Amino acid sequence: MLNINGLTNRTTNSLRSFTYLIGCRKIKPVSRSTRATFFVSLNAWSHLFSQHHSAALSTSTTIKPKKLRLPRNEEITAESITVVDENGKISGPHQTKNFFEDFDLENKSLVTILEGNPEDGRPPLCRIYDRSLLRKKEINDLKNKGKIKVIPTKTLEISWTVDENDLNIKLRRLKEFLEKGCHVDLFLKAKKRGRPVTLDEGEKIVQRIQNTVKEAGGKENLSPVGDLLGTMEMSFSRKKTT
């Protein structure tokens, strides 16, 4: 047979704990005269708890992950790096530890512009900037954020040993990015174990890239930086329309 007194006492204690947790005042002990309506009230408390729990879930704050920037200076942990100096000359790969021994960190800043690939042993590509000029640029970017339209930047990488099918895919993506108004940084790189490539083949790849940019209504932001059949950087954007 169900022990009503024991059940009501246990339930009252549970409700005291519940009201303490959600900031309510203590509940007075249930009298015999209200025992008949007690279980109806219990249903109401259950409904209240459900609403309270749902409200807590609905008002919880969603934390959006920050977009991480690429490593710079002491943040660079790769064993070796390829470096682009302030004149656009590419050198390396360098042992990172040895490179920083003679690097003027007080006045210069080394910024990763293309992540490496540990699987094929390709080191990160890093660019040297004048620290004061870089800082001014970043401050101006923060001031102008929200005032000007931010142009998305896309990165493409093509090997000098690329086959015809893969090259067509890369060129199609380049065209799509430019037609959408994106800024595109394109890197041509040599593979350590790739087949030999002639200068004529390399020049044809560069020419096809330039032709694709013209077809997409794009333009070169700067002349190609680097070496043919070595590491070469090209930068493109959509021409402004009036």
Three-state SS sequence of the chain: CCCHHHHHHHHHHHHHHHHHHCCCCCCCCCCHHHHHHHHHHHHHHHHHHHHHHHHHHHCCCCCCCCCCCCCEHHHCCCCEEEEECCCCCEEEEEEHHHHHHCCCCCCEEEEEEECCECCCCECCEEEEEEHHHHHHHHHHHHHHECCECCCCEEEEEEECCCCHHHHHHHHHHHHHHHHCCCEEEEEEECCCCCCCCCHHHHHHHHHHHHHHHHHCCEEEEEEEEECCCCCEEEEEEECCCC
Residue 22 confidence (pLDDT): 43
Most confident of 51-60, 93-102, 129-138: 93-102
Higher pLDDT, 162 or 107: 162
Mean pLDDT of 41-60: 42
CATH tag, 153-238 = 3.30.110.10
Gap between the Cα atoms of 228 and 189, Å rounded: 9
pLDDT exceeds 50 at position 227: yes
Residue 135 confidence (pLDDT): 79
Residue 54 confidence (pLDDT): 45
Mean pLDDT of 224-233: 88
Residue 35 confidence (pLDDT): 46
What angle is formed at CA 28 by the lines to CA 1 and CA 11, rounded to 5 degrees? 35
Higher pLDDT, 141 or 128: 128
Residue 211 confidence (pLDDT): 95
pLDDT exceeds 60 at position 182: yes
Domain 73-146 annotated CATH 3.10.20.80: yes
Cβ atoms within 10 Å of 16's Cβ, excluding its own: 16
Most confident of 98-107, 118-127, 139-148, 154-163: 154-163
Higher pLDDT, 124 or 67: 124
Domain boundaries, the chain: 73-146, 153-238
